[in-house]
C-alpha cells in the first residue's frame, strides 16, 4: 500500500524513514506551492483555517501521484484540528477518490495505542523494524531541528543572500538519505560546522525576535510566507519556540507541557485548545531573552485569538513589544513585509534608547 501524509516541517523526512523501514511504499507530497494552496482552497470549506486547506492540497497532489492511504493525526479539545481527519475524509470521498484515511490520536500518555492504530498499514513489520525505524526517524527529527536552530542564527549574518539557505537545504537532503545513526550524526556535525563557517560580521549584535503561535505555522514555513527567512534577511536572529522534536516529546511526556502551563498560569489558568497555552507560556518564558515577539496564527483560529488578547496585556506588563500576524489564503506579501520592517525599526529604536540610558548611568524599565 502506498502511503502519504501532510507536510509539516521536517515531519515528512521522519515519516518517510519510519514507514519505509516498516515495509511500505511512501509517496511524499510535492513541496507546498501556490498550486497546492489553490487545490486545497477549491476543495475545502470557505471558513476552514489555512492548515486544513494546505493539507487538502497535499493529499490531492499525493493521490494523483498514486497514494492509496493517508495518515493523519487526530486531536481533542476546543481546537478544530480534531475534526480535520473526518472532514477531509468526507471531502475526498465526495471528490471520488478511493483512498484509505487513517486518523490516529496523538501519542499523549498512550504511545502503545498510537502504534496500534498504525499497525494495520504495516502487516509485515517486525518489532525489530519498528524499533529501528522509530529510532532513526526521531534522530532525524532531532538532527533537522538542530540544523534549523543554527540556520535561524547564521542566516542573519550571511555574506551572500541565499548562501546559507542553500547549505541548509543541501544538508537536509543528506539527512533524508542517511540510513544509519552514524550517518545522521556525521551529517548533523558537518552541517552545523558549514552553517557557522558561512557567517560574517560575527561581532555584530543583531536584534533577536522570538516567534510564538499555532504549531502548524511554527513548524511549516509556507503558511507564514516563511517569516523566519524574511526576518533573517532583514538581519534579525530568530528564536523559534517550538520544534517538532519538542512537540512530540510534549505529546508523550505531559510534564513537559505542564512546565509551559506554569509560565502561562498568571494570565491563563485553563486549557483553551490548540496551542493557545503554549503561545502565552512561551511569550513569558522568552520575554527577557529577546528584543520583541511575533505571534503567528491562521485567521479564525479561536485559541490563538484568545491568546492574542492576553498577549496585549503581557506586552504591557513585561515591557516587551509583541506583534500578532494572522494569515489566510488571501494574505498578500507586500503588506506583511512592510509590517515586519516597521516592527524591526521600532525594536531598534527601543534598543538604542535603552543603550543610551545605560551609558548615562540610568536604569531602563
Give the residue numbers spanning the domain of 161. Answer: 131-202
| pLDDT tens by residue, 117-163 | 677 778 777 888 888 998 999 999 999 999 999 999 999 998 888 99
CB of 257 closer than 8 Å to CB of 282? no
Ramachandran sector of residue 201 (left: φ over 0; alpha: ψ -120 to 50; beta: rest)? left
Strands across the sheet containing 322-327: 237-240, 208-213, 292-298, 322-327
Count of positions (residues) in the chain: 365
Per-residue pLDDT at 86: 81
Residues 277 and 139 in one domain: no
Domain assignment present for 365? no
CA distance 13 to 235: 29
Q: How many domains does the chain have?
A: 3
- In angstroms and rounded to an integer, the radius of gyration of the C-alpha atoms of the chain is 21
Residues 103 and 140 in one domain: no
Residues 238 and 293 in one domain: yes
Residues 210 and 195 in one domain: no
Domain assignment present for 334? yes
Residues 104 and 198 in one domain: no
Q: 60-92: b or e for each residue (b if 16 or more CB lie within 10 Å)?
A: bbbbeeebbbbbbbbbeeebbbbebbeebbebb
Residues 252 and 222 in one domain: yes
- Which of 161, 177, 202 delimits the end of a domain? 202
Residues 218 and 351 in one domain: yes
Domain assignment present for 188? yes
pTM for the full predicted model: 0.91
CB of 15 closer than 8 Å to CB of 8? no
Residues 286 and 232 in one domain: yes
Question: Which CATH number is 38's domain given?
Answer: 3.40.50
Domain assignment present for 174? yes
Strands across the sheet containing 69-73: 25-26, 2-4, 69-73, 100-104
CB of 188 closer than 8 Å to CB of 143? yes
CA distance 117 to 109: 14
Residues 13 and 119 in one domain: yes
CB of 299 closer than 8 Å to CB of 328? yes
- Which of 59, 94, 125 delimits the end of a domain? 125
Question: Which CATH number is 321's domain given?
Answer: 3.40.50.11900
Residues 230 and 348 in one domain: yes
Task: Report which of 39, 6, 46 is spatially closest to residue 219, judged by C-alpha positions.
Answer: 6
Task: Report which of 217, 211, 212, 213 is spatially closest to residue 52, judged by C-alpha positions.
Answer: 217
Residues 356 and 210 in one domain: yes
Domain assignment present for 215? yes
Domain assignment present for 50? yes
Backbone angles phi, psi at 233, to 5 degrees: -75, -10
In the chain (365 residues long), the average pLDDT of successive 10-residue segments reads 91 92 92 96 91 95 95 65 79 93 66 68 82 93 97 93 95 96 97 94 85 95 95 96 89 82 91 87 95 95 93 95 94 89 95 79 59
Cell numbers for 33: 506551492
3-state secondary structure of 32: coil
Amino acid at each position: 500500500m502506498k502511503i502519504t501524509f501532510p507536510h509539516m516541517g521536517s515531519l515528512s523526512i521522519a515519516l518517510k524513514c519510519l514507514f519505509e523501514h516498516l515495509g511500505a511504499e511512501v509517496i511524499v507530497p510535492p513541496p507546498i506551492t501556490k498550486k497546492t494552496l489553490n487545490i486545497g482552497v477549491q476543495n475545502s470549506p470557505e471558513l476552514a483555517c489555512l492548515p486544513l486547506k494546505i493539507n487538502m492540497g497535499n493529499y490531492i497532489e499525493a493521490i494523483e501521484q498514486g497514494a492509496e492511504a493517508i495518515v493523519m493525526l487526530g486531536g481533542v479539545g476546543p481546537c478544530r484540528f480534531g475534526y480535520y481527519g473526518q472532514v477531509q475524509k468526507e471531502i475526498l470521498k465526495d471528490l471520488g477518490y478511493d483512498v484509505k484515511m487513517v486518523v490516529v490520536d496523538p501519542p499523549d500518555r498512550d504511545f502503545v495505542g498510537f502504534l496500534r492504530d498504525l499497525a494495520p498499514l504495516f502487516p509485515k513489520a517486525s518489532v525489530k523494524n519498528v524499533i529501528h525505524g522509530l529510532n532513526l526517524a526521531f534522530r532525524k527529527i532531532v538532527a533537522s531541528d538542530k540544523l534549523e536552530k543554527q540556520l535561524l542564527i547564521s542566516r542573519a549574518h550571511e555574506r551572500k543572500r541565499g548562501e546559507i539557505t542553500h547549505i541548509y537545504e543541501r544538508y537536509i537532503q543528506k539527512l533524508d538519505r542517511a540510513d544509519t545513526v552514524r550517518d545522521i550524526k556525521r551529517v548533523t556535525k558537518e552541517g552545523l560546522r558549514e552553517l557557522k563557517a558561512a557567517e560574517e560580521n560575527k561581532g555584530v549584535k543583531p536584534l533577536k525576535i522570538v516567534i510564538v503561535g499555532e504549531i502548524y505555522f511554527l513548524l511549516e514555513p509556507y503558511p507564514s510566507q516563511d517569516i523566519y527567512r524574511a526576518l533573517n534577511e532583514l538581519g534579525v536572529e530568530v528564536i523559534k519556540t517550538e520544534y517538532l522534536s519538542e512537540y512530540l516529546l510534549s505529546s508523550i511526556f505531559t510534564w513537559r507541557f505542564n512546565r509551559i502551563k506554569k509560565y502561562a498560569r498568571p494570565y491563563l489558568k485553563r486549557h483553551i485548545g490548540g496551542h493557545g497555552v503554549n503561545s502565552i507560556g512561551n511569550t513569558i518564558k522568552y520575554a527577557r531573552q529577546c528584543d520583541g515577539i511575533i505571534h503567528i496564527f491562521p485567521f479564525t483560529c479561536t485559541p490563538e485569538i484568545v491568546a492574542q488578547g492576553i498577549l496585549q496585556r503581557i506586552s504591557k506588563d513585561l515591557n516587551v513589544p509583541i506583534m500578532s500576524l494572522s494569515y489566510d489564503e488571501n494574505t498578500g506579501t507586500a503588506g506583511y513585509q512592510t509590517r515586519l520592517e516597521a516592527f524591526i525599526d521600532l525594536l531598534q529604536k527601543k534598543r538604542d534608547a535603552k543603550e543610551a540610558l545605560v551609558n548615562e548611568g540610568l536604569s531602563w524599565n
